[in-house]
Chain A
Amino acid sequence: MTSGGSNGRGAALGVALACVLGAVRPAAAQGSPREGPLRAAEAAYAQGRLAEAGVAYEAAIAAGRLERDGLVRAHLRLGLLARLGAEDDRARRHFVVALALRPDVPAPEALDAEAGFEALRRARDGERLRAVLETSDPSEPVRVDVRGAPEGLVRTVELSGRGGFARRLRWTGRPLAVEAPAAARPLFVRVLDAHGNRLAEAGTPPAPEAPGAPSSERPSSVREPTAEPVGPDDDEGPSLIESPWLWIAVGLVAVGAGVAIGVSASGDRFVLDAPVVR
């Protein structure tokens, strides 16, 4: 049994996370970073305010800024909370989304959910939600497909490429054929849910423009497609965007935030042992 209070540790974690974010990108520590709403939900869950946590997880998803790990975690928690409310259909829908995003995600051990979760995992047979981009023949339209998606989850497909090429398409469940100029290739496709959360990606992300290129070569009216609101954090200068260290740092922040979220969410994990008659 631990002696430290979870509130104290939570505060320490908050400070540590702020340090992690601040060490790389000070502005991010002050604003509402991508996983901010999720952290609020995790805190409520960890403190046993489950009704509040459920609302907060829904809000985190609705904010449309979750990366895959955060999205998986939110759906797992919502599945557990739904199960606690005896809403089995709703629980199953959340669990299926989590499994589609990460087929090897560990089963929730709480509240007898493990057996049902494993049954869902077997039913999906390891199928992962993935984007498929077929661009083999430059003279043919690009073919975009989404496979392994639970019904109704995918709403939008974004296709982007060089020279500011960008298409935002509504997903109807059937493969899409998109006319894309040869100069736009290689292409990149991103699959989003109804809120703009990123579900899957394929292809080659557009590279930053070469340093020193005249700004007039970038059409100002075309932005890389995004489902997120453009906030202050998106106003990076070109020199920072071009820096490979930025992307390394962003990756490290994502890892750090993920670990911190996991730790703060778990805090103390309470495990009830087998009942013994004595």
Chain B
Amino acid sequence: MSARRGVLALGLAVGLAGCVSERVIGLELRPPRGPDGGPDVPAALAAWEVRLVRLEGDEGCPGPEASAAGRTPRLGHAQSFPAADGMGVAIGEVPPGRWAVTALGRDADCGVRLHGCAELVLDDGAPTRLVVETSPVATGATCGCRACDAGVCAPLLDVCE
């Protein structure tokens, strides 16, 4: 009798192992559109910076000033890639919850030329694709407590006060 129970337990355990699912979410940064409908990226744009920030309570997306200056606590991820490359690296697994995905288009002096932010809720209704619409901004903020190196604020993961 015990042996049968053991086999049943093992069977259930093996059966449960097949329930894991991975939900990959595509991330698209969308610059303003030109007259022809294509991306209208400022020529001075040197690099894109993407920041993933966890949101709590009723918080919404951080503004361009805070994002540019790295004043975003609960930073989960940040990356920068040359504007000429057109794409960055995979962010990887992110815990469930509410997140802000911020995109900053920086010139060589780390001035912010484009900014956009989208809220991402990772739960049962999570999307398969997230589009971050960016638009031109005029902010004097650059890297905050970080140093600018050819359009990249370093250290990228530092959070400024």
Query: Is B19's CB under 8 angstroms from A249's CB?
Result: no
Query: Is B48's CB under 8 angstroms from A275's CB?
Result: yes
Query: Is B28's CB under 8 angstroms from A48's CB?
Result: no
Q: Which residues of B contact A6 (CB under 8 A)?
A: 123-124
Q: Please report which residues of chain B, range 62-121, place their CB below 8 angstroms from some CB of chain A when the two chains form the complex.
A: 73-77, 79, 81, 83, 86-98, 103
Query: Is B6's CB under 8 angstroms from A47's CB?
Result: no
Q: Nearest Cβ distance between residue A90 and chain B, in whole angstroms?
A: 15
Query: Is A271's CB under 8 angstroms from B28's CB?
Result: no
Query: Is A110's CB under 8 angstroms from B95's CB?
Result: yes
Partner of B122, one of A5, A13, A20, A48: A48
Q: How many A-B residue pairs have CB under 8 A?
A: 195
Query: Is B13's CB under 8 angstroms from A20's CB?
Result: yes
Query: Is B96's CB under 8 angstroms from A272's CB?
Result: no
Q: Please report which residues of chain B, range 13-48, place their CB below 8 angstroms from some CB of chain A when the two chains form the complex.
A: 13-17, 19-31, 39, 41, 48
- Nearest-CB residue, chain B, relative to A108: B93
Partner of B124, one of A7, A20, A271, A274: A7
Is B159 positioned at the interface, with any CB of A under 8 Å from its CB?
A: yes
Bound CA–CA A278/B26 (angstroms): 12
Q: Which residues of B contact A17 (CB under 8 A)?
A: 16
Partner of B16, one of A249, A259, A270: A259
Query: Is A276's CB under 8 angstroms from B10's CB?
Result: no
Partner of B90, one of A45, A243, A245, A272: A272
Is B52 positioned at the interface, with any CB of A under 8 Å from its CB?
A: yes
Query: Is B13's CB under 8 angstroms from A276's CB?
Result: no
Q: Nearest Cβ distance between residue B1 and chain A, in whole angstroms?
A: 8
Is A237 positioned at the interface, with any CB of B under 8 Å from its CB?
A: no
Q: Which residues of B contact A50 (CB under 8 A)?
A: 54, 95, 97
Partner of A273, one of B25, B74, B122, B159: B25
Q: Please report which residues of chain A, range 223-278, place their CB below 8 angstroms from some CB of chain B when the two chains form the complex.
A: 243, 245-246, 248-249, 252-253, 255-256, 258-260, 262-263, 266-278
Is B8 positioned at the interface, with any CB of A under 8 Å from its CB?
A: yes
Partner of B39, one of A84, A249, A268, A277: A277
- Chain A interface residue count, CB cutoff 8 Å, equals 56
Q: Which residues of A contact B48 (CB under 8 A)?
A: 275, 277
Bound CA–CA A273/B92 (angstroms): 7
Query: Is B157's CB under 8 angstroms from A112's CB?
Result: yes
Is B50 positioned at the interface, with any CB of A under 8 Å from its CB?
A: yes
Q: Which residues of B contact A114 (CB under 8 A)?
A: 92
Q: Nearest Cβ distance between residue A254 and chain B, in whole angstroms?
A: 10
- Nearest-CB residue, chain B, relative to A77: B95
Bound CA–CA A50/B95 (angstroms): 8
Partner of B29, one of A13, A19, A275: A275
Is A30 positioned at the interface, with any CB of B under 8 Å from its CB?
A: no
Q: Indicate the member of A48, A260, A267, A270 with the most B CB atoms within 10 Å.
A: A270
Is A119 positioned at the interface, with any CB of B under 8 Å from its CB?
A: no
Query: Is B9's CB under 8 angstroms from A253's CB?
Result: yes
- Nearest-CB residue, chain A, relative to B19: A263
Query: Is B25's CB under 8 angstroms from A270's CB?
Result: yes
Is A38 positioned at the interface, with any CB of B under 8 Å from its CB?
A: no
Q: Which residues of A contact B124 (CB under 8 A)?
A: 5-7, 268
